[in-house]
Amino acid sequence: MSPLITPEELSALHDVTILDVRWRLGGPPGAQSYAEGHIPGAVFCDLDTDLASPPGPGGRHPLPTAKSFQSAMRRLGVSGTRAVVVYDDSDASSAARAWWTLRYFGHPDVRVLDGGLRAWEQEGLPVVKDAAAVAPGDFEASPGGMPVLDADQAAALADGGVLLDARATERYRGEVEPVDPVAGHIPGAVSAPTAENVEPGGKFRASGFLRERFNTLGVVEGVPVGAYCGSGVTAAHEVLALEVAGIPAALYVGSWSNWVADPTRPVATG
């Protein structure tokens, strides 16, 4: 089953939990966007608090504990036997983190609305402002459903496999760094900006296009692959794009913000 779902397919579903995961580094707050209009029945999922632990040495968006994630998902109405659809504004840059985290903690049926709220509205489908009332869910979080990397494993993968850097090229090169204290990339990592995974309107490119794109970056059969970004958010988008292409990949959740927390780790530029 594809990890993506179209607006038409979503509008035809009746027994589904819908999570609004709009989030942007620097704002505006996703809860504000949700209040201004959302898909009927959707509940707001806060990336910073529901999909991550507080920032620290583990990175800016470390994995939540199983206990805290389970509690958050149950509050949002998530059950293990009911499908979940997640969305953001358009390109899944934040919704992918919800998709990945739910999959990591064992949910069997999670899909991302391709094109997000923008695509939903372009189809003339309704948007509401009233917050949805949902019954508590019964989701049981069991970690390990998706492969993860720590810093040492990411370094080893960059040396013996393919480690994709999902950030913008100028951040990879170390020319700018708007968030973290050190600029550059993990030595041996390959630049693969997530912006190239989607069309101008925000929908994912076709699976064949994505396979070819990743093939040119060294992702071929038999070679292990992983992804990282600044804090494990856009790298989840990379993992999602790889899944659309039929390629399994691991996520370095701590990503660059965890890597540079240890000053002894090497940094490459250029």
Beta-carbon-side half-sphere exposure of residue 241 (alpha carbons within 13 Å): 34
CATH code, domain carrying 18? 3.40.250.10
Tally the domains of the chain. 2
Whether 173 maps to a domain, the answer reads: yes
Task: Compute the chain's Rg from CA coordinates.
Answer: 18
Whether 37 maps to a domain, the answer reads: yes
Whether 264 maps to a domain, the answer reads: no
Is the domain of 104 the same as that of 152? no
Whether 265 maps to a domain, the answer reads: no
Of 21, 132, 192, 229, catalytic: 229
**Does the annotation mark 45 as catalytic?**
no
At residue 50, the pLDDT reads 98
At residue 263, the pLDDT reads 96
- Domain containing 72 equals 4-122
At residue 26, the pLDDT reads 76
Is the domain of 118 the same as that of 154? no
At residue 158, the pLDDT reads 98
pLDDT truncated to tens, each residue of the chain (270 aa)? 899 999 999 999 999 999 999 998 877 789 999 999 999 999 999 999 999 999 999 999 999 999 999 999 999 999 999 999 999 999 999 999 999 999 999 999 999 999 999 999 999 999 999 999 999 999 999 999 999 999 999 999 999 999 999 999 999 999 999 999 999 999 999 999 999 999 999 999 999 999 999 999 999 999 999 999 999 999 999 999 999 999 999 999 999 999 999 999 999 999
Is the domain of 93 the same as that of 188? no
What pTM was computed for the model?
0.97
Is the domain of 10 the same as that of 91? yes
Is the domain of 115 the same as that of 153? no
Whether 172 maps to a domain, the answer reads: yes
